[in-house]
Structure 1
Amino acid sequence: MIRTALDALYLAAGWLAGAFLVLIFVLMMILSAGRPLGINIPAGDDIVSWCMAAMAFLGLAHTFRQGEMIRVGLLIDTLSGRTKHVFEVGSLVVGCGFVGFFAWNAVVMTWYSWRFADMTQGVIAIPLWIPQMGFTSGLVILAIAFVDELVHVASGREPRYEKPKPQTAEEVVEQAIQSGV
């Protein structure tokens, strides 16, 4: 049940990131095409930048869980067996520490913005905590994904964030096509 809820959370965050991407596209098209027609969206550039931050951070957990996040495995890929497992767990502990630190500070920053009624600078003044929620939510969901993966790998299972190595030449070509290389 928890597995289903966590997977749904990661997927929802990915879909929300995609929705922000579409919103960025629509706003940019309106801003660009609207100039010659005299159409203007007050603070349109600000809204686009807030959407971009939300999109980038909300997509992190889904990207991590799908094995699409850039991973430099120069050391871990040369290891095998118990040594590799220990390094995987150690890497996840370090990752949990860093992501947890950033998520905690993002939550504190957003809470202070709400508590002190900070407002955005620009044409439209809105409470600052509103645009900060995308950034903060994305980091919190990523922290949850890291802890989830740490528990999974520490219990002796294979990491879910790592795609299987290609076994044939066709699989190498297929992975290259899918990754856009």
Structure 2
Amino acid sequence: MQKLPSVGERYDPARSRYPETASWRLSVQHGAELMVSVPAPDQRMIDAVHGRAGAARFALITQPDVLVLATRFGEQTGWIEGAWQAIRQDPGYPPGLSGGDGHLVVRIHLVDALTGLVAAQSLVTWPPAFAAAVRTAIGEQLAGTQDDTAASHQLDALRRRYPTVAKLVRETATTTCTGGAAT
């Protein structure tokens, strides 16, 4: 298992820059992990990731070849989205989520996109129903064709039709939840 970075360390020792994005790893062995990279995250964003500005919200948007997971940290940030495909999962992270019917812990890393350094980390939980919906969506994707070109077209169509992530969440989310404090 890859060593998890600490605050002040590079998220990935081999990288020092990232695009401004949200990136998900959903793995049977390693659980759920969200990396949010923004240029020079300020204290407001750090506080938001730590839950000091309200609870994190999550939304799942399903397409046949791609999943979109959107996140909002309290009222201080807007919705951000990250696409996930089983075929694009890092090789060391087998796609899926471990079974179970309880809460699922999500590790969140806020990374400075300009340096690759971790600015903040937190743990939140998805409630059982949301975790089950994500597991089901992953299973359906794994059982499907996993067509990368089709996934690209599906994402492009979503982004054309829904110019903001807030509109995408409002009008297409399969399920949403409020994250809880990790136990």
Structure-1-length-normalised TM-score: 0.26
Higher helix share: 1
Highest CA radius of gyration, 1 or 2?
A: 1
Higher strand share: 2
Structure-2-length-normalised TM-score: 0.26
